[in-house]
Amino acid sequence: MKINPLLKVFLLCLAAVVLAACAAEKPIDIAAATSQPKAFVGSDTCKMCHLEHYDSWKMTMHSRMLQDAKANQDALIVPIEEKRIRADLAKLEAKLKVPSDKVYVPKTDEILYTIGSQWKQRYLVKKDGTLFISPIQYNADTHRWVNYHEKDWDKRPWLKKCGGCHATGADLEKGTFKEPGVACEACHGKGSWHAALPKTAVFEKRQTIVNPAKLTMGVAAQICGSCHNRGHAT
């Protein structure tokens, strides 16, 4: 069978490119890729190789646990209307530790992050450089506003009290977090080593990330349980 001259030239060129690529490929330096301490890289990095899983996660409430209210105007599930909020608080007057007209109600532009989106929602504001949960809460099922630690709200730093479960990569010493919400690395661990290794290092990559599906049921449950529990240690 005769081969078309043009096809023959194309195949020869393709073979040359493949051979050149193979010759130029360097051995995978695992030690170099994992020489630095593990660090958080963010879900956008994970998305580059795991788009299907990323898209699935974006549809869950985990991704909306903590939302940037400045970057996403739709984060607020209800308008912040002080008159309505105080009217609802007045109905709870007997239970309040602060008079309803004295409870701090943030302005919309003071809200930096929202917490929750399905059943209830709270609002993070900054005071003297520290994030706190403002003393109001919206209950979506009853469409009512209620109080939330109205007396000592500004004595309860959010990152220290709640940040480890509301955000990913919380650093109490630096007072920062890597990413709002329960993102990929909240359950899979820091992903810098995993992301640094090339795709061809399949086996090595698997060893650099936590996959709860590969753990025993008890250990996997502890990953979820670190946030999905209530009460105090005894």
Q: Domain limits of the chain?
A: 33-48+186-227, 66-180
Q: What local confidence, expressed as pLDDT, does residue 203 receive? A: 84
| HEC profile of the chain | CCCCHHHHHHHHHHHHHHHHHHHHCCCCCHHHHCCCCCCCCCHHHHHCCCHHHHHHHHCCCHHHCEEECCCCHHHCCCCCCHHHHHHHHHCCHHHCCCCCCCCCCCCHHHCCEEECCCCEEEEEEEECCEEEECCEEEECCCCEEEECCCCCHHHCEHHHHHHHHHEECCECCCCECCEECCCHHHHHCCCHHHHHCCCCCHHHHHCCCCCHHHCCHHHHHHHHHCCCCCCCCC
State the chain's mean pLDDT as an integer: 89
Does residue 205 carry a pLDDT above 60? yes
Of the listed ranges 88-102, 125-139, 190-204, the one predicted with least confidence: 190-204
